[in-house]
Chain A
Amino acid sequence: MMLNHIISMKDFSRDEIDIILNRAKKFEPVARGKRSNLLSGKILATLFYEPSTRTRLSFETAMKRLGGEVIDLGSIETSSIVKGENLADTIRVIGNYADSIVLRHPREGAARMASEFSKVPIINAGDGAGHHPTQTLLDLYTIMRESSLSNLRIALVGDLKYGRTVHSLAYALSLYHADVTLVSPAQLKMPEVIKKDLKKKGAVVRETTSIEDIVEEVDVLYVTRIQKERFPDPAEYQKVAGVYRVTEELLKKACENLIIMHPMPRVDEIDPAVDRTKFARYFEQSFYGVPVRMALLAMAMEAV
Chain B
Amino acid sequence: MIEKEMRVRRIEHGTVIDHITAGQALNVLRILGVSGTTSAVVSVAMNVPSGAIGSKDIVKVENRELEEEEVDRISLIAPNATINIIRDFAVIEKYRVDLPEKLVGVVKCANPNCISNTNEPVISRFTVNKKPVELRCIYCDHVISEGIAEHLI
Contacts and interface: CB of A to CB of B under 8 A. Distances in A.
A154 to B, nearest CB: 22
A93 interface: no
Contact of A109 (B114, B119, B121, B143): B114
Mostly, the A contact residues are mixed
A87 B138 CA distance: 17
Interface string B92-125: 0000000000000000000101111011111000
A108 B139 contact: yes
Given A108-B139, A108-B140, A108-B142, A113 B120 contact: yes
Nearest to B121: A88
A107 interface: yes
Given A112-B138, A112-B139, A107 B119 contact: no
A221 interface: no
Report the interface size class on chain B.
Answer: 10 to 19
B9 to A, nearest CB: 46
A235 interface: no
The interface centre, meaning the residue of A87, A113, A131 with most chain B CB atoms within 10 A of its CB, is: A113
B120 A88 contact: yes
B115 A110 contact: yes
B137 interface: yes
A265 to B, nearest CB: 23
Interface string A84-113: 001110000000000000000111111011
B122 A116 contact: yes
A5 to B, nearest CB: 13
Interface in B134-153: 137-143
Given A108-B114, A109-B114, A129-B113, A86 B138 contact: no
A241 B138 CA distance: 33
B114 A107 contact: yes
Contact of A108 (B119, B141, B143): B141
A86 B116 CA distance: 12
A43 to B, nearest CB: 25
Contacts of B138: 109, 112
A229 B113 CA distance: 14
Nearest to A84: B119
Given A107-B114, A107-B115, A113 B142 contact: no
B121 A86 contact: yes
B22 to A, nearest CB: 29
B122 A113 contact: yes
Given A108-B113, A108-B114, A130 B141 contact: yes
B120 to A, nearest CB: 5
Contacts of B143: 193
A72 B14 CA distance: 59
Contacts of B119: 86
Nearest to B134: A193
Contacts of A129: 113
A86 B118 CA distance: 9
A123 B137 CA distance: 20
A67 interface: no
Nearest to B116: A109
A128 B141 CA distance: 12
A128 B140 CA distance: 9
B111 A108 contact: yes
Interface of A: 8, 10, 86-88, 105-110, 112-113, 116, 127-131, 193
14 contacts: A86-B120, A88-B122, A105-B115, A107-B114, A107-B140, A108-B140, A112-B139, A113-B139, A116-B122, A127-B140, A128-B113, A129-B113, A130-B141, A193-B143
Given A106-B113, A128-B113, 4 more contacts: A8-B141, A86-B119, A109-B116, A113-B122
